[in-house]
Amino acid sequence: RGNVVVDNENYGKNIGIISDPGGQKNFAEYDLNLKTPGLFQLELRYAAQKSRPGQILMDGQMVIENAIAKTTGGWLPEHQQWHAEGLLRVADGKFTLRIESEPMMSHIDQIRLTPLKGDSNTLHNINDKIASLNRQLAEEQKAAPKPRMVMAVKEGKVKDVQLHVRGSHRELGETIPRGAPVGFGFNGIPKVPSGQSGRLQLAKWLTHPDHPLTARVMVNRVWRWHFGRGIVASPNNFGAMGQRPTHPGLLDHLSLKLIHSEWSLKSLHREILNSSTYRLASNIKDAVALERDPDNLLLWKRDMRRMEAEVFRDSLLQLSGRLNSTMDGGAMEVKSQDPSPVDLANNQKFYEKSDRRSVYLPVVRSNVYDLFTLLDFPNAAESVGNRVTTTVPTQALMMMNGKFLMNESRGIAKNWPAAPEKELASSLKQLYQAVLTRSPTPDELQWAARFLNDYSAEDNDTNMSESWSALCHTLVMSNDFIHVW
């Protein structure tokens, strides 16, 4: 029993973990009945990329103060390891073992009590020796040579290929020598030596400082993600059928900056984010500008735009305290090859429970996560330069009834426990600041207080927990939250 999450599905075969739902005093209790009393060594099998120390209690008394404090290198099944937490002296066979951890808990899989013979001093000496050997092992591992970070396959048989007439492999034309596309007005077309595939020459050609497209295309895509529209509004088409740049000089300036900074994207982001254009407000009132440039192509104000699906999900996880900012990690267990209806249901459960950033969620092309689909996640099978933004009834239904939104709203509400009436206004201001990054207006303050009172009275919510959850749910459904202003 306890207030932890039990997961028997997502962390490997025969592995069922207990962990935290996020941001609370976590505990799990076990009523044990041992046949014989005596001295036992307590071992826990858990995975932890970051240290999440806790404590062990017997019948309410602290027996191990610094428990489950080790790290194992990750959260996945291959990172599960046994750790000796300490010694328990059991006078009576029946007792309650309690594991506590705050505010997060490691992924605990198994508990083991091993009966021991001998005095405690001898056992402590053995544990000290084991700890010393573990430290020595860790030092040896640090001193080991680093593995190669990049591996490449060797080239196979090198040859030129024939032209596929109209794209058909059945209708072949003349043999085309290896090289690069022509027609860019760039004379750096590489000559490929015989016996080489040309991959290296193509890479050097693409990244040559005089190449007219590479830097411009990259800058345009970064600009598009910051402003919602690229300097060239057709990111996938810089040709005659694409759209002309609204600010060609700006595109060239930023492209040269990118090249001179040795292709540093961080430097490019900094240049854009520190600009006065990026810091413009969306509520600027300028009748002359509106008449001359109603579509804001010249960027005289900021365009209001909706969050992408991934940003929306990550923002909710961050607010609820559940976002796991761990980088990298092994493959996540979802079924992508010929998934059955049961597999698809399990995939859905995995997506809703996962606390990883959206960039790490696997994408099953035949069955994309419904939250992403409803918020206009692009076709995963092709390159998409501009995402469409739709407004359809199913989005509103998902916002109101989606399990993920409701769970994260409860997580947000836990940070705002019921406050005395004299402190209610202060709590509401903090909530608005956290969720909407602004203070509430006087009318919004009155509405929110009335909402809490009416909801608690109608739902008989004496401790106000559901009322605050409903208020948080309402705020994250609002345009103020899901749009970048």
CA dihedral sign, ordered 457, 462, 464, 469: negative
Residue from 364, 360, 337 nearest 348 by CA = 364
Q: How many distinct structural domains can be found in the chain?
A: 3
Residue 331, pLDDT > 70, answer no
pLDDT in tens, 227-282: 999 999 999 999 888 999 999 999 999 999 999 999 999 999 999 999 999 999 99
Q: Looking at the domain assignment, is residue 316 inside a domain? A: yes
Q: What is the dihedral of CA 108, 117, 130, 18, to 10 degrees?
A: 0
Residues 279 and 326 placed together within one structural domain of the fold: no
Taking each helix axis from N to C terminus, what angle separates 393-401 and 403-413, rounded to the nearest 10 degrees? Answer: 50
pLDDT at 483 over 70: yes
Q: In what order do the strands lie in the sheet with 26-33?
A: 26-33, 94-101, 54-58, 61-67
Residues 321 and 446 in one domain: yes
- Choose the most confident range, by mean pLDDT, from 6-10, 90-94, 201-205, 305-309: 305-309
Note whether 364 and 260 are same-domain residues: no
**Does residue 441 share a domain with residue 311?**
yes
What is the dihedral angle through the alpha carbons of 220, 221, 222, 227, rounded to the nearest 10 degrees?
80
User: Within this chain, do residues 362 and 227 fall inside the same structural domain, yes or no?
Assistant: no
Rounded distance, CA 94 to CA 226, Å?
62
Cβ neighbours, 10 Å, residue 411: 21
| 248-260 and 265-273 helices, crossing angle to 10° | 140
Please check whether residues 341 and 400 belong to one and the same domain: yes
* pLDDT for the residue 309: 94
Q: Is 450 inside any structural domain?
A: yes
For the cut 90, the answer to whether the pLDDT of residue 343 exceeds it is no
Closest Cα to residue 28, out of 71, 57, 65?
57
Q: Which residues are CB-neighbours of 177 under 8 A, at least 6 positions away?
A: 160, 192
* Contact of 42 with 68, CB cutoff 8 Å: no
Q: Is residue 19 part of a domain?
A: yes
Residue 207 lies in a domain: no
**Does residue 403 share a domain with residue 375?**
yes
Q: Would you say residue 181 lies in a domain?
A: no
Chosen domain end from 292, 326, 360: 292
Alpha-carbon span 381 to 387, nearest angstrom: 14
Average predicted confidence (pLDDT) for the chain: 88
pLDDT of 420 strictly over 80: no
369 and 259, same domain (yes or no): no
Report the pLDDT value the prediction gives residue 475, as an integer from 0 to 100.
96
221 and 339 housed in the same domain: no
Strand partners, 111: 44
Q: What is the DSSP string of 411-434?
A: HHHTTS----HHHHHHHHHHHHHH
Average the pLDDT over each of 139-148, 243-252, 287-296, 447-456 and give the range with the smallest value: 139-148
Residues 87 and 29 in one domain: yes
Q: What does the pLDDT read at residue 478?
A: 95
pLDDT value of position 9: 80
| Measured CA distances, 8 to 13, 92, 140, 351 (Å) | 9, 32, 35, 15
Please say if the pLDDT value at position 388 is more than 70.
yes
Read off the pLDDT of residues 181-230 as tens digits, 9 standing for 90 and up.
Answer: 777 667 777 788 888 888 888 888 888 888 889 999 999 999 999 999 99
Cα 328 from Cα 359, distance rounded (Å): 10
Q: Are residues 271 and 346 in the same domain?
A: no
Alpha-carbon distance of 43 to 68, in angstroms, equals 10
In a domain, 127, yes or no: yes
Q: What is the CATH number of the domain that holds 103?
A: 2.60.120.260
Nearest to 198 by CA among 167, 176, 215: 176
Among residues 249, 270, 292, the one where a domain terminates is 292
pLDDT tens, position by position, 101-160: 988 899 999 999 988 876 656 666 777 788 888 889 888 888 888 777 776 777 788 888
Same domain, 270 and 383: no
User: Is residue 437 in a domain?
Assistant: yes
Q: Domain range for residue 31? A: 5-136
pLDDT class of 330 with cuts at 50, 70, 90: low
Tell me the pLDDT band of 418, cut-offs 50, 70 and 90: low
Is 297 inside any structural domain? no
Asked if 176 and 201 touch (Cβ cutoff 8 Å), the reply is no
The residues that bridge with 30 in the sheet, in sequence order, are 97
What is the pLDDT at residue 185? 67
Residue, of 388 and 180, whose pLDDT is higher: 388
Of 71, 106, 136, the position where a domain reaches its end is 136
